[in-house]
Amino acid sequence: MKVKDGFVLRQIAETWVVVPIGQRVVEFNGLVSLSESAALLWSMLEKGAKQQELLDALLTEYKIDEETALIDIESFIDCLREKGFLEE
Amino acid sequence: MSMTAEQFDNKLIEVAKKKGIPLWGKFELTGRCNLKCKMCYVRKEARDKEIIKLERTAAEWIKLAEEAKAEGLLYLLFTGGEVFLRPDFKEIYEAVSLMGFSISIYTNATLITAEIANWLGKIPPSLIEVTLYGASPETYEEVTGDFNAYDKAVMGIDLLKAEGINIQIRTTVVKSNKADIFKIIEFAEHRDIQFGIVDYISPRRDGTDNCLGEERLTPEEVMALNINLENYYRNKSDEILKEAISDEKDDLNGKPSDNDTPFPCGGGNCWFWVTWDGRMTPCGLMEDLATFPFNIGLEKAWKDLKKKSLSIPRCRECTNCDLKEFCLTCPARLKNETGYYDRPAPYLCSLAEKLRDNLS
């Protein structure tokens, strides 16, 4: 899975922000704020990470059980898919 | 991703103010304009070669944007003068638009061609804000000195709109165009474009004359305009009314204030302006309180500007005034109105008095 090109992930004033750039502004004119864990997932999805890699990263970075981490990942990916941010 | 837009903005602003992060930056790419609005606070002649020589290059603006990004800038405005007078605007915009800013452009739209609109439509900014100076060629001739500019502006707006670009229209209201205001609102509504008003005209920041006596609305006229607008919007849907009120709030009060800075808008604390000739100031209305980012780098210039901004004397009379909650006072306006940062400006006092009387 991979997020589409044309987005820049930035940390500004203690907030993670995704900014559309170039042609991407045509289909999405706005900003997306992400939690720290969501920003971690986004940055991995920029490189086309697999679900297992996302899971490993969350389990390494956060004190969280596998079941909860999987639910969080699926929920985040559903949200990205719904907004059209993922390459299918 | 569950934070609302308002919560998101509030969090950013709160942290930016606390830490002195320049969340907003305004790049005044040129002071030159193809129109000759009498009331403008900055305008230089469109073909003035001496002024052109003093303007900063495209490479310098692009580098400045990179430095601003490193400092945390998110919202970047390109303004002028008229930015589309610069033949290298395309070069600047294309480079900066890939850096990760939310970009806005101020323009009079008279230089927008089908080619420019098509180009921008492919890599659009978040917003283009067009200043419309009247609702007829006659009013344009009176305000801007160019009879043909009205048709050009209308064509520019329609070309941008046809490309799906997010546009807002705003009008600087002066004596020469105040009779057109509701026609301008209808123009915007007809095109489903949000509308806003600028009803405060500042003296020029360089101290030269900008026909304030001839063109600026008196406090009585400002209040009459506000009352007419309130009556107009009262008959509109709730949604339009909310938008109109929101615009007014932005124009009058700017962003939420911070008691630690003399600028209620956050100038010199979480936003800056860079003038066409390279001065970083807390506000576009100022030019004497400045640092020089093209010479010393943006990081140092911003750090120095924050210190300088805090050193500006506050107006004690304004701070203790009963009218302060109704007043548009700020150090930049006081300086331009009176020559001092800390002396009350009779025009602003009178305006505040009228606003209070109207609300009570």
Confidence of residue B321 (pLDDT cuts 50, 70, 90): very high
Evaluate whether B272 touches B303 at the Cβ level (below 8 Å).
no
pLDDT at B259 (0 to 100): 45
Confidence of residue B245 (pLDDT cuts 50, 70, 90): very low
Helices A36-46/A66-82 angle, 10° precision: 70
pLDDT at B1 (0 to 100): 52
User: Is B166 at the interface with chain A, CB within 8 A?
Assistant: yes
Q: List, in order, residues 6 or more apart from B241 with CB less than 8 Å away.
A: B233, B234
Bridge-based pairing state of the strands B24-28 and B75-79: parallel
Per-residue pLDDT averaged across B341-350, rounded?
96
Per-residue pLDDT averaged across B310-314, rounded?
92
Query: Given A8, A14, A25, which is nearest B126 (Cβ)?
Result: A25
Nearest to B332 by CA among B303, B290, B270: B290
Give B-chain residues touching A17 at CB under 8 angstroms.
74
Helices B149-162/B137-144 angle, 10° precision: 110
Query: Distance between CA B108 and CA B133 in Å, rounded?
Result: 9
CB contact under 8 A, B123 and A12: no
CB contact under 8 A, A33 and B72: no
Give B-chain residues touching A15 at CB under 8 angstroms.
8, 11-12, 15
A60-66 contacts at long range (C-beta below 8 A, 24 or more positions apart): A61/A37, A62/A37
pTM above 0.90, yes or no: yes
Q: What is the tens place of the pLDDT at every residue in B116-157?
A: 999 999 999 999 999 999 999 999 999 999 999 999 999 999
Tokens coding A56? 């490993």
Query: Distance between CA B184 and CA B331 in Å, rounded?
Result: 32
- Residue B226 gets which letter from DSSP? H
pLDDT at B255 (0 to 100): 45
- Please report the residues numbered 124 through 163 in chain B whose beta carbons come closer than 8 angstroms to any beta carbon of chain A: 124-126
pLDDT at B320 (0 to 100): 94
Residue from B12, B93, B104, B160 to probe the interface with A (highest A Cβ count within 10 Å): B12
Write down the residue that tokens 């490993």 correspond to: A56
Per-residue pLDDT averaged across B147-175, rounded?
97
- CA B140: distance to chain centroid? 20
Q: B347 pLDDT exceeds 90?
A: yes
Question: Could you give the percent of chain B with pLDDT greater than 90?
Answer: 80
CB contact under 8 A, A33 and B3: yes
Q: Which comes out higher in pLDDT, residue B107 or B38?
A: B107
Bridge-based pairing state of the strands B24-28 and B271-274: parallel
Evaluate whether A31 touches A17 at the Cβ level (below 8 Å).
yes
Query: Distance between CA B91 and CA B93 in Å, rounded?
Result: 6
- Please report the residues numbered 40 through 59 in chain B whose beta carbons come closer than 8 angstroms to any beta carbon of chain A: none
Q: How many CA atoms lie within 13 A of A42 on its CB side?
A: 23
Per-residue pLDDT averaged across B43-54, rounded?
94
Q: How far is A23 from chain B (nearest CA, A)?
A: 5
Q: B60 pLDDT exceeds 50?
A: yes
What's the longest Cα–Cα distance across chain A?
39
Helix/strand/coil for B106: strand
Q: B211 pLDDT exceeds 80?
A: no
Confidence of residue B2 (pLDDT cuts 50, 70, 90): low
Nearest to B27 by CA among B78, B86, B71: B78
Query: Distance between CA B120 and CA B90 in Å, rounded?
Result: 9
Confidence of residue A7 (pLDDT cuts 50, 70, 90): very high
Radius of gyration of chain A (CA): 13
Evaluate whether B87 touches B132 at the Cβ level (below 8 Å).
no
Q: What is the tens place of the pLDDT at every residue in A29-75?
A: 999 999 999 999 999 999 999 999 999 999 999 999 999 999 999 99
Q: B251 pLDDT exceeds 50?
A: no
What does the DSSP assignment read for B16-46? HHHHT---EEEEE--SEESS--TT-SS-EET
Per-residue pLDDT averaged across A82-86, rounded?
93
pLDDT at B41 (0 to 100): 87
Phi then psi dihedrals of residue B71, to 5 deg: -85, -5
What does the DSSP assignment read for B111-179? T--HHHHHHHHHS--SEEEEE---SSHHHHHHHHS-TTHHHHHHHHHHHHHHTT--EEEEEE--TTTGG
Question: Which chain A residue is nearest to residue B13, measuring alpha carbons?
Answer: A13
* Least reliable range by pLDDT among A57-61, B80-84, B91-95, B284-288: B284-288
For residue B313, the tally of other CB atoms under 10 A from its CB is 12
Question: Could you give the percent of chain B with pLDDT greater than 70?
Answer: 92
Q: Which residues make beta-bridge pairs with A17?
A: A10, A33
Q: B176 pLDDT exceeds 50?
A: yes
Q: What is the tens place of the pLDDT at every residue in B254-301?
A: 444 444 678 988 999 999 999 999 999 999 999 889 999 999 999 999
For residue B190, the tally of other CB atoms under 10 A from its CB is 8
CB contact under 8 A, B123 and A19: no
Query: Distance between CA B271 and CA A83 in Å, rounded?
Result: 31
pLDDT at A16 (0 to 100): 96
